[in-house]
Structure 1
Amino acid sequence: MTHYLAELYSPKPAWLTLHPKDRERFFETIGARMAGLSAIGVEALAFGETDGAIVHAPSQRFFAIWRAPDAAAIQALAEGIAASGWHGYFETINAAGAGDSIDDHLAQLAGL
């Protein structure tokens, strides 16, 4: 069953003070690790800056949305992100789980 990871994140002071060359090296390392994640079916769907004008906007400044074939691949993605040092630079909230249809999801909510 397809699983998803939605990340919401904002830069920490450590990122804001990091030299541009060090930022570039950090992103090169992340790019190199993506090949292994792609091999297990992890797919980046979207990245962007959050819209602060939307109703119930998050306090986090950016988002990323990922798709993978199963929970194990999403776990590998989350572990890979953590191992990269990402959380030292960005305050992150992760939401992950299997994707359901709207009817199935409404049934989950109704069953609470």
Structure 2
Amino acid sequence: MTHMLVELYEPKPAWLSLDAGAREAFFAKVGDGMAALTALGIEPVGFGDADPAVPHGTGRRFFAVWRLPDRHALGALVEGIAASGWQDFFDTINAAGQVTGIADHLTQLARL
């Protein structure tokens, strides 16, 4: 079953203190790990700068959205992100789970 991962993140002082060369080296390391994740069927859906004017926002500046074919791929992505050192540089909140339709989701909420 399809899963989604939504990351919301904010740069930490450790990121802000890196020079351009160190940031490029870090992103090269992240890029190197993407091939293995893509082979698992992990699809980057979109990334961006979160709109601070949206009501009920999280206060995080950036977001990333990923589509994954199953729970195994979700675990691999979360582990890969952690192994890259991402959380050393970005304060991250994750929301992830199996995708369902709105009717099924409303049923989940009604059963609470």
Same fold, TM-score > 0.5, yes or no: yes
**Residue equivalent to 2:8:** 8
How many residue pairs match? The answer is 112
Partner of 2:93: 93
Instruction: Say yes or no: does 1:54 pair with 2:54.
Output: yes
Matched, 1:103 2:103: yes
Shift of 1:58: 1.4
Alignment-derived partner of residue 27 in structure 1: 27
Distance 1:26 1:60 in 2: 21
Structure 1: any 5+ residue segments left out of the alignment? Answer: none
Report the AA paired with residue 47 of structure 2: F
Deviation per CA, 1:46-92: give whole Å up to 9, x if none: 00011110111111000000001001101100000000000000000
- 1:76 equivalent in structure 2: 76
Q: CA deviation at 1:11?
A: 0.1
TM-score scaled by structure 1?
Answer: 0.99
Q: Residue 18 of structure 1 aligns to a residue in which SS?
A: coil
Q: CA deviation at 1:19?
A: 1.1
Structure 2 CA distance, aligned partners of 1:50 and 1:109?
27
Q: TM (normalized to structure 2)?
A: 0.99
| Structure 2 residue runs without a partner (length 5+) | none
Q: Which runs of 4+ in 1 moved over 3 A?
A: none
* SS of alignment partner, residue 45 of structure 1: strand
Q: Cα RMSD over matched residues?
A: 0.4
Q: What one-letter code is carried by the residue in structure 1 that aligns with 2:42?
A: V
| 1:105 maps to amino acid | H
* Matched position secondary structure for 1:8: strand
Secondary structure, in 3 states, of the residue corresponding to 1:47? strand
Identity of aligned pairs, percent?
Answer: 57
